[in-house]
Structures are given as structure tokens and as C-alpha cells.
Amino acid sequence: MISWFQKSSAAVCLRGFADGEMQKASRYLSARGHRVVRSLQAAQFVVAGPDADKSLLENSRVQGLEVVSWSALQEEIRDAGVLAEMNVSGDAPLMNETVEPLFRTEGGLQFLLDLPLPLANRCAEADQRHVPQAARFAGLCFDQAFVETLHAALTGTCHAMPVALEGETAASKTTAVLYLAHLLGQPVIRLNLNGQTDAGELVGRFIPSDQGWKFQEGSLPVAMRRGHWLLLDEMNLAEPQVLERLNCALEATPTLVLSEGHGTVFGPGGDVEVAENFRLLATLNPAEYSGRSVMSPAFRNRWLIWHQAQAADESAILAMLRTLVLGEQPVVCWKGKSYKADPTAPLFPRLGALTDVESILARFAMFHSTVAKAAGESGTTPGLARHRRERHVFTRRNLLATLQLCQNTTSYHDDSRRALSEAIQQIYINRYADAADRKAIQAHLRAADLC
């Protein structure tokens, strides 16, 4: 009998699971009220999957943690009748479950999950430069959070609804929009908003010319005229009165009157017909972030698709690393089915040839996750650089830079772990001047067994 399983709110650490299996096992345990934690230090119990490292399990027992195999826990689940409650199969993780392609072709249409992708846009040659190119998405990881964000963006653009993607820094909000535009051959105007953004950048302003003064249309009328998507990055950094200028364009039938210029009217019965492919999309951080404006309820309500994009946790970071180094994509779940994107060419193939690459990537994911959290999240007191006005943020860029340095040095390093440790020194530790902060990151490095 596994006594803790019938209790509530046990802190459980999962080890030795593939990415998709990890997510399913986490959901099963979470459904019973247990907390799935990332580190052994925060755990009360350890559940060992089929690929669990024996030395790690021994270390767990040394720390006084109870270790149970997933197969034994499954038996407990069956005996407790939990599977019937959760309406799931007893073979979790579902190794024998059919995994469907994330992108599939059916009846001449391409689908993402359950949504058909519109036919590729044949835009004018002059607009081709605004279509995101494939090169910028090399190594893109289609994990659960990213696929859900991509699906939300597709839902809005298919039904001509404004889309707002809210979430922490590095939640791949902008990347989801740009990747979708790439798939559809759709031109995108990306406008980064800030506290100095004025209405002129959105709708237009008079500028000097050889003939005196002329009115230059802003990003919004250009997008409406030419059928572009207008992506407003960091939307809530702009002043509310500037954002309110978008209200008419956010209606079911978008309109616009250029009162700042010659009074040109966009929309039904006006001077310019709004192009069919015009869409408004926005990304924003939570209002608790410093410098963010509070938007009016009426303005927020106009963004009919409002999606909360999730930042990467340790399992998502590991999935990302496996994509970058091994070219593997994780399994994602949608409406009771499993999906997986096609493998991609790894960006760092030399690292993938290392004999201990699986262990290295898992330890690096653990390190990055704990350091990113220690650097401080919105509304929390950071454990690192707590007295500085500016916080460091650790994102995918840091992962990429570290892997790049590591790959460039493994040719003359005998120890791949040492190569990664030295790369981490450059990318993570050297950002901090305070000795206590550097010591704290070194502690995270030792906890992940990377030094």
C-alpha cells in the first residue's frame, strides 16, 4: 500500500519519464491534489519512471525520500478506483497510445490539432518582406504551452477576432503569432509599444516633404488597407488614451476615421475598404509588471480571444533542450488525444553525440529553471540581485547562448560537463557583480551536479 497517495497535497518529484509521459503523470497526480515539484530538495516523495537513473534514486533514498516506481503506483491507482474518477486509461503513461501528427493534411487542407489552416496567402510582391521567414524558427519546440498559444492565435485569426496573448516574459507569445503568419504566408507589421508611443505611430501624422507637409499613414491604416496583421507587442506599456484609438478597429466590422489627417474613412461605405486579411493581435505582460498601464474594461473586452500563455517550467525547458540538441519534439495533449510535431534538424548536433547528453540536458534544465525563478518573478521578491532596481531575466536566449558556447568548446574539452559549466559561468554567473549572488548561482550549479 502506498500510503501517501490517498492523502492530499503531497510534494512529489517525477524522475525518469519522457516528456509526454511526464506531463500525463503530472496531471494524474495533480488531479488527486498532489503537488508535482521540480527538485528533490522540495519533494517528500519520488516517483520513478521507466528511464529513472539509478544513482539519482539512491541519492533520493539517502536524503530520506520515499521512492516508488510508476508501475507500483499504477497498481495503487487501479486498486483505489481512481482511473474511473479521472476517466483515463490505466496504461499511463500511455506508451501504446496513438500519437497523431501535430500538423496533418486531410481533404486537401492542413490542420493544426482540430483547426484547419487557411490556404496560404498570395500577397503582393511588395508585401513579401513582411512575411516571417522560416530561418527564424529553426529549433522551435512545439511543447504544450506553445501549441496552446498557437491554437489560440489561429482561432482568432480564422474567425476575424482580435487576439490578445498575455503571459510572463519568454512565454513565446510573439513567436506563436509570427510562426502562424509564416505558415500562412501572411505579412505582419510588428509594432513595439512603450510609454512614449503616441497615436501618430498607430494612425499617422504629418511629416515634411519636398512639397511641404504630407500625411503619412501609421501602422494601423496601412495594415487595414493592405491586409496585413498588426501585432502590437508589449501593448500595455502604451498609455491608455493611445490604446483607445484602436477601439473602432477592434469592432466586428473594423472601421477607422483618420481625423488626424484628411479624414479618410476606412470601412463599409467609406473611402477605403478594409482588406479581408486584416487582423489585430497583441502581446502583453501581466499588469503587475513594472510600468504597465491598466486598461479599461471596455478596451479589454474588445479583445475577444484573450489567452493566458504559460511560461516554460522545468519539463518544458528540457523539451526545448532536447529539440535544440537532438531534434526531438515533445508529445502534447489536446481533447484527450496525443500529438507530436515532426522531428527537426538539431541546432547543436555535436552536443547530441555526447555519451551523457541525456543526463547533461536534464541537469541543465533543472539549473536554468531554478536560477530563472531565483532571479525573480512578477510580484515576488527575487533571491538574486534583490537590491538592484533592474532584474536579470533568463530565457531561451540564455539557453541558446550556453549551448552555442558549449558546442564550440567540446572539441577540445574531455569533459562535456566541464564545458557546460564554463559556458554557464559566462552566460549566467558573470552577469552578477555581487559575491553573494555569484555564490548563490554556484550553489544551484552544484545542486544540478554540473560542476
Per-range mean pLDDT, top range of 74-88, 126-140, 149-163:
149-163
Quote the pLDDT of residue 96.
43
Per-range mean pLDDT, top range of 54-58, 123-127, 178-182:
178-182
Quote the pLDDT of residue 312.
84
Residue 318: count other Cβ atoms within 10 Å of its Cβ: 25
Residue 148: count other Cβ atoms within 10 Å of its Cβ: 19
Mean pLDDT (the chain) is: 84
Quote the pLDDT of residue 160.
95
The set of residues, in sequence order, having a beta carbon less than 8 Å from that of 61 and lying 6+ positions away, is 67
Q: How far apart are CA 373 and CA 145, in angstroms?
A: 18
pLDDT classification of 142: cutoffs 50, 70, 90: very high
Quote the pLDDT of residue 2.
54
Note the CATH number of domain 3-86. Answer: 3.40.50.10190
For range 418-428, the mean pLDDT: 89
Kindly state the percentage of the chain with pLDDT values over 70: 86
Q: Is the pLDDT of residue 117 over 70?
A: yes
Q: Is the pLDDT of residue 329 over 50?
A: yes
Most distant CA atoms of the chain, gap in Å: 87
Quote the pLDDT of residue 388.
67
For range 315-326, the mean pLDDT: 91
Could you name the CATH architecture of 99-309? 3-Layer(aba) Sandwich (3.40)
pLDDT classification of 410: cutoffs 50, 70, 90: low
Quote the pLDDT of residue 161.
96
pLDDT classification of 377: cutoffs 50, 70, 90: low
pLDDT classification of 112: cutoffs 50, 70, 90: very high
Domain coordinates in residue numbering, the chain:
3-86, 99-309, 348-447
Q: Is the pLDDT of residue 358 over 90?
A: no
Q: How far apart are CA 384 and CA 438, in angstroms?
A: 9
Quote the pLDDT of residue 360.
86
Q: DSSP for 63-86, please give it.
A: TT-EEEEHHHHHHHHHHHTHHHHH
Q: Is the pLDDT of residue 79 over 70?
A: no
Which of 94-108, 109-123, 272-286 has the least mean pLDDT? 94-108
pLDDT classification of 437: cutoffs 50, 70, 90: confident
Q: How far apart are CA 250 and CA 304, in angstroms?
A: 9
444-448, long-range: CB < 8 A, 24+ apart:
444/367, 444/370, 444/371, 444/374, 445/367, 445/421, 447/39, 447/41, 447/366, 447/367, 447/370, 448/363, 448/364, 448/366, 448/367, 448/370
For range 349-355, the mean pLDDT: 85
Helix H or strand E encompassing 45: strand 45-48
Q: Is the pLDDT of residue 355 over 90?
A: no
Quote the pLDDT of residue 95.
39
Quote the pLDDT of residue 62.
73
- Give the model confidence (pLDDT) of 223-245 as tens digits: 999 999 999 999 999 999 999 99
Per-range mean pLDDT, top range of 58-62, 304-308, 314-318:
304-308
Q: Check for a shared fold between 3-86 and 99-309.
A: yes
Kindly state the percentage of the chain with pLDDT values over 90: 41
Question: Per DSSP, what are the bridge partners of residue 166?
Answer: 284, 308
**DSSP alpha helices (H): ranges in 120-259?**
144-158, 173-184, 199-203, 219-226, 240-243
pTM of the model: 0.77
pLDDT classification of 90: cutoffs 50, 70, 90: very low
Quote the pLDDT of residue 168.
87
Quote the pLDDT of residue 294.
87
Quote the pLDDT of residue 12.
83
Quote the pLDDT of residue 32.
65
Quote the pLDDT of residue 211.
81
Higher pLDDT, 302 or 372: 302
- Give the model confidence (pLDDT) of 14-67 as tens digits: 888 886 777 777 777 766 667 777 777 777 788 888 877 767 667 777 777 788
